[in-house]
Structure 1
Amino acid sequence: MLKGRSNKPEPIDNGAEATGYQSSPTSPTSLKTPTITAELAPPKPRQGSRSSALTGTTALPSPSPRQVPLTISHRGTRHTHPENSLPAFLSALSFSNTTALETDIHLTSDSHVLLSHDPTLRRCFGVDKKVKDCTLEYVKTLRTLKDPNVDCATLTELLSLLVEKQNVERGVWALLDIKVSAGSPQEVITALQRTISEFGGGVEGGYGLDYWKSRIKLGIWGYSYVPFCRHLLPGFSIIHIGIDVAYARAFLERGVTEFSLLEAVIMGRKGKKFMAEVRVKGGVLCSWTVNSPETMRWCTANHLDGVVTDEVGLFGDMCKEYLENPEVKGYGKLPWGRRFENAAVRALAWMVSRLWRWTRGGEGGEDACWPSGPEIEVVKGSEQRGSRNGAVLLITGELVLFVCMVRVAWVDRFSVFLFCIIFSVNCFPNPT
């Protein structure tokens, strides 16, 4: 049975120690691109892993009780290394169950693609500046506050890591979380297209966009990115990252069949119904960010295609537990306290999603490409702007209540949750 997180992962030779990487202070391409002369076949799924669109194949088989979700490392091993850094990615790849690397992108002022979750440099580098206001040359002079003190990685450096021989043989791919704060859809996707197409220009035969279609997945939050992805990066997988089942369903109805949704959202009644709809259309459903043993068991028992997690080693142990032990009645069943917490999270996620779509929808421009429908219709005009401040105050108050909820008994959590629901129904302006 499971004895806890594995502190001694199965060794994988990545050509460098995870903690011994020395970054270049100025060069945006500090990793050397190796020459690969052999033709690269599509990666084959490992035994016990799901064979799905996530691994480059086209068919999604029926769920099997002996298949486990793919392990997607969330910003590398960010608990032990600076998040979104090359040492964090190398550390994640030292675990044999790691299938993919999830990372976030923002653009510098000179349109270089930087691997950064935040729009500012404050939290990771201690500099109170926005990424979009800094050049790549300046950002490369900074060092992370967390040890080991390294520079900020770029997409080019991540691509160099992916084409290393051992990672090609393992079929490692990257999920790019394209932040809405990174820039306009056209600006961001154009920068991605340029960076990917120019990579490996000095390598014999090059790589080209076709090579990366099975190695890079485009994670988007808003539908306004879809037309640009399809036009500038045709054939690349588009994964909707979100917190709202209703909004995700609009993507599914318009040809986007791969999803990465908040774990609490998938675990609800509507989430399970959406899971069935995705499977009928041969799609892919992942969950983020799954870090607790009970939610890992739930995701495994319900045959999700992938799990985005900070705890790569722990999830590997959970998968081993699931594969080696016989079926146990009630495996993956959530405790009641966790169910109430998930219900509160779903309510808050719904409100945040509505507010986000509601406020951005009135701006026109790129968001004119958003899908429409009875649950997705975005209101434009002055009346939505007039009530915006009240909605912001409401959301802020309920977020404070939720923070308090996680520190009290489940009975009190449920009471506060009911209060939030009643208050929201009566006070929250309906954007449709």
Structure 2
Amino acid sequence: MDKQEFLGLMEKLDLGNKYSAYYTQAGGAFLNIAELPVLGPASSSSTSILERVYVAAFKVMLTKLADTIKEGLMPEDSKLSFLVLNGQAKSYCPQDLRPDLLFFEQNTKKLRFATAHILFEAKRQMDEEEAYSEHLGQVAQYAFTLKTAQPMRRYIPVFFLYGCQLNLLVFTNSRYFKTNIRSVLHDNADFKPVRTNLVSKSLQRLWFLSPLPPREFGHLVPTPGIPWELYINNTEISDTSSYARPAILTDESTATSRRLTNVKLIGKKVNIIGRCTFLFTATYNNMAVVFRMTWIRTNRLPEGAIYKILMDNGVPNIPTIYDSGVVVTDIGDYRLEYLIMEHCGTPIVEHILQMRTNNKPASKVAKFARDCVSTVTKMLAAALCAKVLHRDVSPGNIAVKGNRIFVINWGCAKFVDPPTPEQAADITLR
């Protein structure tokens, strides 16, 4: 866990300037709402009743905040454009996970975990350390499942209401960040008007976060779900021949954007902790390609840079790379990079099984296997001459298309000899 002050976390999420401008405009728009003690939970010894009261109070609070916007006390772009649905009444997840509330975009066609935007969970107040040891695992499971269902997410935001205190938890691949938005509810049993200023400031923070569009608050593209049309925007980069350069994923075409269509996820089990790759089939410039999105530690080389080194040294039997880049440079010590690469057919094991299914003579299968070993060995030797060691050679990373054999998935590769300072600088830049 990485505890952050609210302003510090906003800076880390690239929301610092936007929050500063918002805070200047907000003024005392939430003071009247903060004076309402009816928003607080009633006293009760029942955990389940208290949690239901917290959830109901949170929804009432969002409604009252929305009414404040309608009255013209806040800018138009502060309107809440999401459906806030009860996750306890109906499961939106195949694993039957039920967070208390889920935020969806209003134009979402299918309401399910794979299209949810923000999660909300409420728990009764008890000792803080006990609360987090008991409840954080449940909240983290919700976030983990949502991150797996939405591979394009930079992070998963969760509102965690603990008693009257609201926390923002931001889950990335390797850690989660916690910031205290502070008290957003009054306790009816202990209401003191002097606290309304503090509650008002907390409501300002909550309302800044709640209407944020997905693109600015976790998503890389506005609408989750597949298929989609996707564009890669390299407007800030003049050298379009280089690999592993910064890029922006967008859903809108520009003069310099490159279009991916028919994007479909290749379903496979993925552990989002550690290096993880999501694979998609797609069409790019009328060609069938594989689109790869990989979360990887920031201290590792971008895979696009490795392919560039291999190609510059004439290493054979690697796929053609049409485009590559770094989309997220650093969040929680992870980088998100992409590759658009030649479709390399099927893994070698599937190819051999297909040969057997088609009743190919055993002698031909054996010859193919020998030729494959020879080709891969020569290819790895050529890569080694280029000072690149694959480090993840396996049947799954050897593919066959027609008469061609490819060695793919160079994300774990490293240099066997230290590069010169000039090479190191160039590689780091790429």
- TM-score, with length taken from structure 1: 0.23
More strand by share: 2
More helix by share: 1
